[in-house]
Structure 1
Amino acid sequence: MKASSSFKNAVSAVALSAGLAMTGTIAVELAAMEVAHAATVSRIEVRGNRRVDAETIRNYISIRPGRSFSQDDVNDAVKRLFATGLFADVSINQSGGTLIVTVEEYSIVNQVIFQGNKKIKDANLARAVQLQPRKSFSNQALQADEETIREAYRRIGRDDATVSSRTQELEDGRVNVIFEVQEGGRTKIAAVNFVGNNAFRDGRLKDVISTKQSNFLSFLLRNDIYDDNRLRADEETLRRFYYNRGYADFRVISATADLDETENAYTLTFTVEEGERYRFGNIDVESTISGIDPETLRSQIETRQGSVYSAKNVEDSIIALTEHVAGMGYAFAQVTPRGNRNFETREIDVVYSIDEGPRAYIQRIEIRGNQRTRDYVIRREFDLSEGDAFNQVLVQRAKRRLEALNFFQTVNISTVPGSQPDQVVLVVDVVEKSTGEFSIGAGYSTSGGVDSSGGFSVEGSVTERNFLGRGQYVRVAAGGGKNSRDYSFSFTEPYFLGRRISAGFDVYRRTRKFDDKYERDTTGATVRFGLPITEALSTQLAYNLSQEEYTGIGNCANLNDGNPANDANCNLAPALVEAIGQEKWIKSSVSGSLIYNTIDDMKNPHSGLYANLTLEVAGLGGDAKFIKATARSTYYHTLSEELDLVGLFTVGAGHIQALDGDLRVFDHFSSSDRIIRGFDYNGIGPYQNSTGGGIDHIGGKTYFNASAEAQFPFPILPESFGLRGAVFADAATLYGSDVAGAIGTDLQWRASVGAGLIWASPFGPLRVDYAYPVLKEETDDVEHFNFGISTRF
């Protein structure tokens, strides 16, 4: 292409004003014409176009035959044509009375091909790149897509992945785009270091952050992937951790990630300054709004004088005060905490000041970054909607709720001005993460008691916490062992009918064999509803329907056939002999639970209380008619922050009472490792002499139990392995019975001591315990070892 020398500067100006980077040259040549003079042409000729119609190109420019035009019109025509994104080069020349527009069209992408990729599927890469079939091709987009693919591999921990590209020319101006990927090895986290920490050891802080040091299980956990956004999130997590434990002056001085290219591994280093630890001093409330009496608001405050300073308690107090005064009709009231540090006493006085805030309304809530999660799943976590008064406190609470969903890697909420001075736009930026889980659990029991399946058992499950992006919970599980089979399906809708009420159902079938003497088949379903009362307190209502069938097997196959010799040969307690072989037993019941939960981290608890009180009434049809109450409470407290020593204390109780006649033997409570360790399943409490000698425990109507435990990091092994040790002491009693001829129905306490190992494995929390009874009865069945899935709550 060529351009007249008198227009070279003008051409450069056009290219710059268009803001375009291109390899070709823009030539504008108006022959036989001075720059300053206008010109006219009789026709406009288009050359070089193959797919774009000539008339379409003429319509893009403002120059018309017979009308005068200037250099500005030519510049504008060039801009318009380039702005279409259809052309790689444009040239406008005048030849006599003809204006010649010469274009070079971009090639059209025929196919985008990925080669060498195994860790990321073609479909995922295709969604990420700009170049798409039937779209225009450009070298700029090609280079940008190379970087996009590299970034995709960095996000899965493969920083040394290389990407190259090439094109394959086809006929009719089409081109195949080929990306060749060399995935390389996984980029690991060689070490996570902390500098400047004295109050908390490195291992405790490593538990707090989400980025973990690589170990031999990292390929399953996928928590050793370096990401700059995750590093920034870990900084914020550390701040919250320290702020909630009294360190109000804490700051992260730096957080660095150094890549050793020879080892393909990062070393993360967090340099921190902890400062002093504070407690709350004087707590006060003041108001500049007439009609609000500060003294009446003190009951809403969560901070207490003398308690360790906690930013969370301050935030909770702000939320409680804000909601309370809003309920009084002050929608724009603004609660601001003022802290005054006393460096000598290491106390922080806090004054909650209530003022009339600026009158601003929410124009709209804009959500970005959610490719899978539906908008309404995010919007419903806000107690605000379009048109409501803007309240920063409620915005921050929505942010915490979104983070608690565990659907997103990061959640950021910002504001931009609206169309009016008193309006703002909330912008919610989220980065999604995988919400599907596959887990495998295992257990082992050495039990030989009549009510235990014994031996190894395994369980596998598939869970989706954000089903179809609707925020719904779905779980399918199956498991079994030598003497057991389990199948279950669960579904939960967290916002039933658009309200903060969870609704769901469970369907299950369980089969158990007991000492090769009898078998129990249970098929059941539960429909449940959950309702939050406060942030910590919730309730759950459920309807339960189940059918049980007991069948004698082996030597007990002919129970209750009228031949006493067959009953004696089975060697079971008379109550069990009578119950086995009866018609199918149907239980129809309703239950209600109150749940109180202030646990700081359900996966790795260090503080808080979890309590559950359940009342079940059976008798709405079916055969069972009873009322049953159970309660269990576990309190966690960090005994030593430096040693990461955590203490927990558990108490529990239960009672069942028949509403009509006597309880069936199988409706009684049976002891288990959740009540007391060191004893066999159903190994304590009331019993009967069996038909062939010996005894069989038959359960009890009432139980009480208590347990004290200390948990600590397991020495030698790295903290990232997730192994902790425990020592414990248990005590329990199980007594009372409606079974005629029951023995040992009086209240008698048992106790045991032991040690255990807890592993936060990729397959779920696993635990093995060894317990030794220190207080027992001669008729009790002992079981020292127990291995299975850890169930804390």
Structure 2
Amino acid sequence: MKAGSKFLNAVSAVALSASVVASGAGVLVLASAPSAEAAVIRSVQVRGAQRAGEEAVRSNLTIRPGVSFSNNDIDESVRRLYSTGYFSDVRISVSGSTLVVTVSENQLINQVVFNGNRKIKDDKLQTVVQTQPLGPYSETMINADIERIREAYRAIGRDDVEVTTQTAPVGEGRVNLAFVVNEGDRTKIADINFVGNQAYGDGRLKSVIITKESGPLSFLTRKDIYSEDKLRADEDALRQFYYNHGYPDFRVISSSAELDESTNKYNITFTVEEGQRYQYGNIGVESTVEGVSGEDLQGLVETRQGGTYDAREIQKTMEGISRRVAAAGYPFARVTPRGDRNMENHTIGVSYLVDQGERAYVERIEVRGNTRTRDYVIRREFDFSEGDAFNQEMISRAKRRLEALGYFTKVNISTTQGSASDRVVVVVDVEDQPTGSFGIGAGYSAGGDGFILEASVEEKNFLGRGQFIRVAVGGGLDDARTYNISFTEPYFLGYRLAAGFDLFKSSTSSNDYYDYEEQGVTLRVTAPITEDLATTFRYTYKEIKYDNDGAFGGDGLPFTADDNVSYPYAAMIDEGTFVQSSISQTLTYNTLDSQTLPREGIYATITHEYAGLGGDSDFYKISGRARYFQTLSTEADLIGSIAVGAGHVVSTGDDLHVFDQFTIGGRQIRGFENDGIGPRTVDHGNPLGGTTYFTASAEMSMPMPAFPEDFGLRAAVFADAGTLYGNDVNLGTSTAQGTDMSWRASVGVGVMWASPFGNIRFDYAKPVVKEDFDETQEFRFSMANQF
């Protein structure tokens, strides 16, 4: 018990029956039993506060002269003085009518340094600890700082870190404080095991979770760091995976991580219960909302009888119905799925019940954890703001949007009670991740341009504003060069419109024939139509220049106007600069379950373009491509995909120019150069492009045998086919070959690696059907990486 409390208790006991106040006798006598613990002082005397100062002590007292006080006031004053951290001892006593406060001051911190730390730099640790220069030396605070430093090292996978302190007096009650860190070795993950799984093997489940086993390159990926938060996130990832693949009864019975101190490695075990796989039974919609019938909402249902149970489809259906009912004037409407389980045939019938719901309003949206991304970038993904009606389906939609941005490693949205029963606080917890990337692409053509290299740098969350910027350059061993700069503002003028521009320039030089150069700008804006469908409008202005000064005739001398030769580009167009001005519109449909390694879904685009807004080109083009992904074997993680594409261009004026026609090659049909197939001039074999093309591709990929699936190495086999034909270019005296509908085809193998350096792909393709004049390129390499 504090000295002051003991004194006052003694005084109070003596004064229980007293009724007289004697002044000047050195003893304070309380007046009556009902106020036995009350007292009054006339002054406060402070002793020992040399550096802190007397006023600093008085300001932390709850006792004031002339105001009655009790034991509780003394206790609170002592607590406040200790909490400042400036005092190692505090005593309060009463002498006559004077309150005497005696303190012993802690030493002051002169300097805080860190020794032995290499993995975490000083500036990072300085933000971790609370002990700061010119602050008090507090053992309690220092011990808490030691634990904070240990926690920072655990977060980077060093659980056996040791932290001690050293002090050095520098005079005048000041000391230098050093945190001495023995970082130890990295704590690794030896094994990740699953117990109870039957439908999916350990390898497939390891690819679902975030935590990975330690490997030779784990020091780069840092995915083998154990934490409780990651373990909980892994549990949730497993649940979502099973729920989305037909297992509504799946549950994680337990997850444990055991540290083997002899090896400094964790062994992680997930014990699961899969349950039975279900399909959908009867599907229906019931509505109690006046003016909105279940039949009207039936077309929004994405779950189909006989299909495999998929929680994503149920969620999308709920959101679609909620949007429709809200648009009809019922913002508080609630959509509740009710399941009718048939245990015998393993089906679940789903009825979507639509009712008015409880009235609730969003009081505020609170964003936490974002260290780089700005608050407004997160808030704008919500379809509501403060004061609007609260709707749970909008929360789910916003969470999916935030995750799709790729800005965060985790997104969690929760709700708490607001200031009133009908007020809700929406809490958004996020964790930023790197959003920059660089890419390298390379290829080799034995008979064409030789080695070709492309490099790009992009940032999709520029300055934390959510803006996208990309810079790319490319070239070959010849004089071919390409330059591109792209910028996108995803919320133009505060609307959900992605507006941006592309600046581009490319040049190609042929010592025998011509120099070609193009440069221009594209202005574009993209607007969402639904969650899966978007439309993009573009305007493109392009200048194209042909220079024949480098061309040579059959006698080895430069072409002149008097030469009666068949030089293709000189004959097709006049030497000089041409302008192409066009508008286009693209529809994009995207239901892929992943943008990096799709296993299910469709990605399709269709574009039509009109040129003739001034300039030298007059045409109408239409083109499209669709690719469908499907898991062929869940146990083997075998993924199949098929793709088709087509395009056609017609002149709306005079003949087409060469640069108006389609050119295709290695990007669509592997094994060929980028402009390697299609019509060419007979004289020199220069590509003319074509008016029509068709392409098709089939691919199957699987984890590379003998490698752990979570290593990210996959093998692929593929077959490509396509044709480019037709010509509407005036060739003059020249003639064209390959204008008929001749198909090309290739088969090949590929290796894909989701490496720590980025997504790397090697392809080797062998043309099996081709024309003699086609240009081939059997090997291609590409890489993209996050930083």
What TM-score, normalized to structure 1? 0.88
**Correspondence for 2:664:** 671
| Larger mean Cα displacement after TM superposition, 369-378 or 313-322 | 369-378
**Correspondence for 1:23:** none
| Larger mean Cα displacement after TM superposition, 238-247 or 551-560 | 551-560
**Correspondence for 1:545:** 541
Within 5 Å, which residues of 2 pair with 1:692-711?
695-711=685-701
**Correspondence for 2:15:** none
Q: Does 2:779 match 1:785?
A: yes
Shift of 1:578: 4.5
Within 5 Å, which residues of 2 pair with 1:177-576?
177-430=177-430, 432-449=431-448, 453-461=449-457, 463-483=458-478, 484-513=480-509, 518-551=514-547, 561-562=559-560, 574-576=567-569
Alpha carbons 1:189, 1:265 under 8 Å: kept: yes
Q: Does 2:111 match 1:101?
A: no
| Larger mean Cα displacement after TM superposition, 768-777 or 388-397 | 768-777
Query: Residue 121 and residue 553 in structure 1: after superposition, are their counterparts in 2 closer, same or farther (change >3 A)?
Result: farther
1:768 to 750, 762, 765: 762
**Correspondence for 1:713:** 703
SS of the equivalent of 2:307 reads coil
Give deviations 1:640-680, integer Å, cap 9, x for gaps. 11111111110001222333322222333222123222334
Alpha carbons 2:672, 2:775 under 8 Å: kept: yes
SS of the equivalent of 1:153 reads helix
| CA distance in 1: counterparts of 2:254 and 2:2, whole angstroms | 55
Amino acid at match of 1:748: S
Shift of 1:183: 3.0
Query: Residue 55 and residue 758 in structure 1: after superposition, are their counterparts in 2 closer, same or farther (change >3 A)?
Result: closer
Shift of 1:169: 3.6
**Correspondence for 1:745:** 739
Amino acid at match of 1:627: Y
**Correspondence for 2:114:** 114
| CA distance in 2: counterparts of 1:554 and 1:496, whole angstroms | 46
Shift of 1:195: 2.2
SS of the equivalent of 1:584 reads strand
Amino acid at match of 1:588: S
Shift of 1:506: 2.6
Alpha carbons 2:506, 2:518 under 8 Å: kept: yes
| CA distance in 1: counterparts of 2:549 and 2:446, whole angstroms | 19
Amino acid at match of 1:426: V
**Correspondence for 1:734:** 724
Shift of 1:107: 4.3
Amino acid at match of 2:617: A
Alpha carbons 2:442, 2:782 under 8 Å: kept: yes
Alpha carbons 1:723, 1:760 under 8 Å: kept: yes
Q: Which runs of 5+ in 1 are unaligned?
A: 12-29
Amino acid at match of 1:391: N
Amino acid at match of 1:626: F
1:633 to 620, 626, 635: 626
Amino acid at match of 1:492: T
| CA distance in 2: counterparts of 1:782 and 1:63, whole angstroms | 92
| CA distance in 1: counterparts of 2:312 and 2:557, whole angstroms | 62
**Correspondence for 1:160:** 160
| Larger mean Cα displacement after TM superposition, 288-297 or 491-500 | 288-297
Query: Residue 344 and residue 127 in structure 1: after superposition, are their counterparts in 2 closer, same or farther (change >3 A)?
Result: same
Query: Residue 593 and residue 250 in structure 1: after superposition, are their counterparts in 2 closer, same or farther (change >3 A)?
Result: same
Shift of 1:706: 0.8
Query: Residue 390 and residue 371 in structure 1: after superposition, are their counterparts in 2 closer, same or farther (change >3 A)?
Result: same
Q: Does 2:582 match 1:583?
A: no
Shift of 1:780: 3.1
| CA distance in 2: counterparts of 1:653 and 1:441, whole angstroms | 28
| CA distance in 1: counterparts of 2:510 and 2:115, whole angstroms | 56
| CA distance in 1: counterparts of 2:48 and 2:467, whole angstroms | 55
| CA distance in 2: counterparts of 1:435 and 1:10, whole angstroms | 66
Within 5 Å, which residues of 2 pair with 1:6-155?
41-65=41-65, 69-155=69-155
Shift of 1:593: 1.0
Alpha carbons 2:444, 2:778 under 8 Å: kept: no
Amino acid at match of 1:354: V
SS of the equivalent of 2:203 reads helix
Shift of 1:86: 4.4
Shift of 1:258: 2.6
SS of the equivalent of 2:206 reads helix
Q: Does 2:599 match 1:599?
A: no
| CA distance in 1: counterparts of 2:364 and 2:2, whole angstroms | 53
Q: Does 2:677 match 1:684?
A: yes
**Correspondence for 1:25:** none
Shift of 1:605: 0.8
Amino acid at match of 1:777: E
**Correspondence for 2:643:** 650
Alpha carbons 2:167, 2:178 under 8 Å: kept: yes
| Larger mean Cα displacement after TM superposition, 362-371 or 643-652 | 362-371
Give deviations 1:454-474, integer Å, cap 9, x for gaps. 31425252x333222222223
Shift of 1:315: 0.8
Shift of 1:31: 8.0
Alpha carbons 2:718, 2:747 under 8 Å: kept: yes
Q: Which runs of 5+ in 2 are unaligned?
A: 12-24, 31-35
Query: Residue 521 and residue 207 in structure 1: after superposition, are their counterparts in 2 closer, same or farther (change >3 A)?
Result: farther
| Larger mean Cα displacement after TM superposition, 439-448 or 391-400 | 439-448
**Correspondence for 1:16:** none
| CA distance in 2: counterparts of 1:626 and 1:299, whole angstroms | 39
| CA distance in 2: counterparts of 1:59 and 1:683, whole angstroms | 84
Amino acid at match of 2:761: R
Alpha carbons 1:574, 1:688 under 8 Å: kept: no
| Larger mean Cα displacement after TM superposition, 200-209 or 328-337 | 200-209
Shift of 1:149: 2.0
Alpha carbons 1:559, 1:577 under 8 Å: kept: no
Query: Residue 346 and residue 50 in structure 1: after superposition, are their counterparts in 2 closer, same or farther (change >3 A)?
Result: same
| CA distance in 1: counterparts of 2:487 and 2:319, whole angstroms | 32
Alpha carbons 2:497, 2:526 under 8 Å: kept: yes
CA RMSD of aligned residues (A): 3.2
Alpha carbons 1:682, 1:698 under 8 Å: kept: no
Amino acid at match of 2:461: N
| CA distance in 1: counterparts of 2:402 and 2:332, whole angstroms | 24
Amino acid at match of 2:190: A
Shift of 1:221: 2.9
**Correspondence for 1:26:** none
| CA distance in 1: counterparts of 2:189 and 2:642, whole angstroms | 36
**Correspondence for 2:17:** none
Give identity over the alignment, percent. 52
Shift of 1:527: 2.4
| CA distance in 2: counterparts of 1:697 and 1:10, whole angstroms | 107
| CA distance in 2: counterparts of 1:754 and 1:315, whole angstroms | 40
SS of the equivalent of 2:671 reads coil
Alpha carbons 2:520, 2:541 under 8 Å: kept: yes
Matched residue pairs, number? 760
Alpha carbons 2:7, 2:93 under 8 Å: kept: no
Give deviations 1:316-337, integer Å, cap 9, x for gaps. 1111111111222222221111
SS of the equivalent of 1:611 reads strand
